[in-house]
Amino acid sequence: MLLVVDVGNTHTVLGIYEQTELMHHFRVQSVRGRTEDEFLVFLTSLLNIAGLETEDIDASIIGSVVPALTEPIVRALRRAFGHAAVVVGPGIKTGMPILYENPRDVGADRIVNAIAAYERVKGGLIVVDFGTGTTFDCVSSRGEYVGGAIAPGISLSAEALFARAARLPKTEIAKPQHAIGRNTIHAMQSGLVYGYVALVDGMVQRLRTEMDYPVTVLATGGEASLIASESTTIDSVDEHLTLDGLRILFDRQR
């Protein structure tokens, strides 16, 4: 079995694959300062929940945008499974030309998402990943990563609003019935959700004007389903897109 680990700023997502089938997946908080030993206990506990032993994991791959967490997880994986994990980074075989001015600047999650999406669409596409930051990644019809955009994530935007506006209460990010809020909670939810939908649709439309070929828009990440339900530009949602990309990338190394 293959273990894939996607380390994000807010959450770490782990998936266990049997060939191309995702058998188990877990989402936990990314806690900076967690030690190698803590990760080791953490990994074996998740395997026990899945009814597996360390001997069942034959290989692993990690994509991380949090450098402080990468090395402790890599060392924990080696101790748990007795092999060196593949780490997504410079020098890895992606099978996708990176047309960024400095390819090393592109986050591992962005490349992994682009690879998984192109494997599915086989055409021009935009991937919208709703995380701590919301990323828009563009892939040409020839399968080239051409760049994109980065915006503050909806949860990050909400936390900034709660922290800086003394009279506004902290509230759940949820879709209100109407855009015109008749109380403060609904007004905030309207601004956060419908305002963010407008950001996403406006950004996608602007990106499309610079891509002279048909484009499919895929969404992934924590708030993907919430925003996609109101979006006019998102074609489909795949919550496991990044995990699939890590699996595909691992196969390409072999």
Higher per-residue pLDDT: 134 or 168: 134
Write down the mean pLDDT value for the chain. 93
- What is the model's pTM? 0.90
In a domain, 94, yes or no: no
Same domain, 82 and 112: no
40-82 pLDDT per residue, tens: 998 999 999 999 999 999 999 999 999 999 999 999 999 999 9
Closest CA to 76 of 37, 112, 116: 37
Provide DSSP, 41-69: HHHHHHHHHTT--GGG--EEEEEES-HHH
Q: Single out the residue of 116, 126, 123 nearest to residue 142, CA to CA.
A: 123
In which domain, by residue range, is 210 found?
103-246
Determine contact, residues 131/8, Cβ cutoff 8 Å. Answer: yes
> Does residue 98 fall inside a structural domain?
no
Q: Is 109 a catalytic residue?
A: yes
Mean pLDDT of 171-181: 92
- Percentage of the chain beyond pLDDT 90 is 83
Report how far apart, in Å, the C-alpha atoms of 242 and of each of 101, 111, 128 are. Answer: 23, 9, 11
Q: Strand ranges (DSSP E) for 119-192?
A: 125-130, 133-139, 145-152
Report the pLDDT averaged over residues 135-156. 96
Strand bridging mode 2-7 / 11-18 = antiparallel
Per-residue pLDDT tens for 122-144? 999 999 999 999 999 999 999 99
Q: Is residue 133 domain-shared with residue 237, that is, in the same domain?
A: yes
Residues 118 and 186 in one domain: yes
Question: Same domain for 60 and 176?
Answer: no
Q: What is the pLDDT of residue 168?
A: 86
188 and 71 inside one domain? no
Q: Among residues 37, 58, 105, 109, which one is catalytic? A: 109
State how many domains the chain has. 2
Distance CA 18, CA 2 (A): 7
Supply the pLDDT for residue 164: 86
Report the amino acid identity of residue 65.
V
Asked which of 87, 119, 149 is the last residue of a domain, the reply is 87
